[in-house]
């Protein structure tokens, strides 16, 4: 099932209804929620169709990448120059951090 929204009231008040088509329903349209703006309805549709988390993550990605790089720099300072290369190249958590940074910057 795929959710979408449509404008269900027009003048003077606008109402956007989120719902989905159901061929088994006598009306064919099953409303889920009502919203005052198209943007609110679109956000609800995205959430119901499973893309809300992805959209929020993409919005936060630059800040998350910056925080991850800063965390790596602090971990390097904590371990010191003698142990850093070993820790950076061998520890499972650093492998994950390095892979995430690489993937985000390619």
- The pLDDT value recorded for residue 27 is 80
Task: Quickly state the pLDDT bin for 28 (edges 50, 70, 90).
Answer: confident
CA pseudo-torsion sign 106, 59, 65, 93: negative
Distance between CA atoms of residues 16 and 33, nearest Å:
8
> Environment class of residue 101 by beta-carbon count within 10 Å: exposed (0-12), middle (13-18) or buried (19+)?
middle
* Beta bridge pairs of residue 31: 19
Tokens in use for 79?
């371990």
Tokens in use for 85?
């290369």
Among the residue ranges 41-45, 49-53, 79-83, the one predicted with the least confidence is: 49-53
Which residue has 């719902």 as its token pair?
A: 19
Q: Mind listing the pLDDT tens digit for each residue in 1-20?
A: 899 999 998 877 889 999 99
The model's pTM is: 0.49
36-44 average pLDDT score:
91
């Amino acid at each position: 099932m795929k959710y979408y929204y449509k404008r269900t009231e027009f003048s003077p008040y606008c109402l956007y209804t989120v719902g989905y088509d159901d061929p088994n329903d006598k009306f064919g349209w099953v409303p889920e929620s009502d919203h005052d703006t198209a943007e609110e309805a679109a956000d609800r549709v995205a959430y119901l169709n499973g893309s809300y988390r992805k959209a929020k993550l993409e919005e936060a990605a630059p800040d998350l990448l910056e925080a991850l790089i800063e965390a790596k720099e602090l971990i390097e300072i904590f371990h010191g120059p003698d142990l850093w290369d070993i820790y950076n190249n061998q520890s499972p958590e650093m492998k994950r951090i390095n892979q995430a940074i690489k993937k985000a910057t390619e």
